[in-house]
Amino acid sequence: MIGKKDLEHIGWLARLELSEEDKEKYAPKLNSILDYFGEIDKADTEGVEPLYHVLPMSNVFREDVPIKSLTQEEALSNAPKNQDGFIKAPRMM
């Protein structure tokens, strides 16, 4: 069960601000979904390896050869705020 406190913690981990109203609204739905997910406990996975990649691929590389980068203008073109070629973020503290 996800309680309000858990939801706050998960919200912080996900950097998703949740209002009191959000928390009230989300908790029951999230819990009913988690209840459903609980079904998988019944599956017998003893000795079964997790499948990370559906195709058995390995060793995919690129050579150490440069490509054309974006121009500074292109790199900054979508940034809501920039200054002197830097992307501008809010203060840290």
Partner 1 sequence: MYENPDGVMIGLEVHVQLNRLKTKVFCGCTTDYHSDPPNSHVCPVCLGLPGSLPVINKKAVEAAIKVGLALNCTVEEHTQFYRKNYYYPDLPKGFQITQYDFPISSGGYITIEGEDGEHRVGITRAHMEEDPGRLVHEGTIDKSKYTLIDYNRSGMALLEVVSEPDMRSPKEARRYLDKLRNILEYLDIFDGDLEGALRVDANISIKGGQRAEIKNISSHKGAERALLFEIVRQKNVLRRGGVVVQETRHFDEAREITLSMRSKEEAHDYRYFPEPDLVPLKISGWAPAIKATLPELPDARRLRFVEQYGIMDDHAKALTSELKFAIFYEDVAKKVDPKMAAVWVCDVLKGELNYRNLTIEAFKKEHILSVIDLLLNKKITEDGAVDIIRTLLDKGGSPFEIVKEKGLLKVEGDIVSTAAEEAIKENPRAVADYRAGKEKALNSLVGAVMKKTKGRADARTAREMLLDRLDKS
Partner 2 sequence: MASINELTERIHADSSEEIVAEYLGKITKSKLNAFITVSKESALSQAQEIDAKGHDGPLAGIPIAIKDNISTKGIRTTCASRILTGYIPPYDAHVIEKLKNAGAVIIGKTNMDEFAMGSSTETSFYGPTLNPWDNTRVPGGSSGGSAAAVAGGEAPLSLGSDTGGSVRCPASFCGVVGLKPTYGVISRYGLISYANSLEQIGPFASSVRDVATLFDVIAGHDPRDSTSVKGAGNYSLALENDVKGLKIGIPEEYFGEGIDRNVEKSVRDAINTLEELGATSTEVKMPHTKYALSAYYIIAMSEASSNLARFDGMRYGLRTEDQDWHTTFSHVRAAGFGDEVKRRILLGTYALSAGYLDKYYLKALKIRTLIKQDFERTFKDVDVLIAPTMPYPAFKIGEKIDDPLSLYLADVETVPINLAGVPSLSIPCGTSGGLPIGMQVIGKHFDEAAILRTAYTFEENTDFHKTEGS
For binding to partner 1 (CB under 8 A), which residues are involved? Answer: 12-13, 15, 52-53, 57-67, 69-72, 75-76, 83-93
Q: Which of 39, 83, 84, 85 is the binder for partner 2 (CB under 8 A)?
A: 39
Instruction: Give which of partner 1, partner 2, none residue 85 binds (C-beta under 5 to 8 Å, depending on kind).
Output: partner 1
Torsion angle of C-alpha atoms 10, 12, 15, 19, degrees rounded to 10: 90
CB of 93 to partner 2, least distance (A): 6
How far is residue 1's CA from residue 32's CA, in Å, rounded to a whole number? Answer: 9
4 φ, ψ (degrees, to nearest 5): -65, -40
Closest CA to 85 of 93, 77, 45: 77
Nearer CB in complex with partner 2: 42/64: 42
